[in-house]
Structure 1
């Protein structure tokens, strides 16, 4: 189960990044070009937040069954000094929770705005900040600090 969840979490990362990048591009386009906020735009906002929440659910499930996190929690005083263990036990989850919270707040605020330009602006700003946090907190394969494969096999 752990390996399957890990693979799904890794795969869903790409859905989150793709939807977030497209939503950000679309929001800046709408904001800077004074486009009307249409049903498509609202759907994009909603779908992007939903994909992020699915990723959150997978990540939290993975967190509670992860042997790395278990080691971190049961050996905190020594594990906190081990970079890779601390990253998954504390840093990754904290930063991702912050990012998902920003996406949720940005989505909710944009939904409640009455002016189209403000809807796009709100989405653009909140989603961009969340994306920067996400990009800095993913264990990329090329990272000199914490490296994990970009794609994991499902089985």
Structure 2
């Protein structure tokens, strides 16, 4: 089960990044060129938030199954120079929860704004902030905190 969750979480990461980047692009374009906020824009906003929530749910289940996390909380003798247990047990989880909260709040606020320009602006700023948090918190292969491949198999 753990390896399946790990693969799914890794795959969903790319869906989150793609949908978030596309939503930010649409929001910027709509704001910059004063375009109408169409049904397509609303669908993109909705699905970006939905994919992010799905990723969070898979991540929380994965967190409960992770040997790295259980090692961090169950052992006081892990090497202190290794940042990986700390990263996955606390930093990754906290930053991703904050990023999903930012996406959720931005999506909800954008839906309720009166003008199209306000909708695009809200969506752009909240989603861009969440994307920055997510990019920092992902364990990229080049990350100094934890090294993971681009896609887990």
Fold conserved between structures, TM > 0.5: yes
Contact kept? 1:102, 1:127, Cα under 8 Å: yes
Alpha-carbon RMSD: 1.3
Residue number in structure 1 paired with 2:36 = 36
Contact kept? 1:80, 1:86, Cα under 8 Å: no
Please state if 1:16 is matched with 2:16: yes
**How far apart, CA to CA, are the structure 2 residues paired with 1:116 and 1:80?**
53
Residue number in structure 2 paired with 1:70 = 70
Contact kept? 2:87, 2:145, Cα under 8 Å: no
1:36 Cα offset (Å): 0.4
**How far apart, CA to CA, are the structure 2 residues paired with 1:49 and 1:114?**
20
Runs of 4+ in 1 over 3 A off after TM superposition: 77-82
* Unmatched tracts of structure 2, length 5 or more: none
**How far apart, CA to CA, are the structure 2 residues paired with 1:123 and 1:63?**
29
**How far apart, CA to CA, are the structure 2 residues paired with 1:29 and 1:139?**
30
Mapping 1:2-151, distance limit 5 Å: 2-75=2-75, 77-78=76-77, 81=80, 82-151=82-151
* Unmatched tracts of structure 1, length 5 or more: none
Per the normalisation by structure 2, the TM-score is 0.95
**How far apart, CA to CA, are the structure 1 residues paired with 2:79 and 2:21?**
33
1:142 Cα offset (Å): 2.0
Contact kept? 1:49, 1:107, Cα under 8 Å: yes
1:80 Cα offset (Å): 9.2
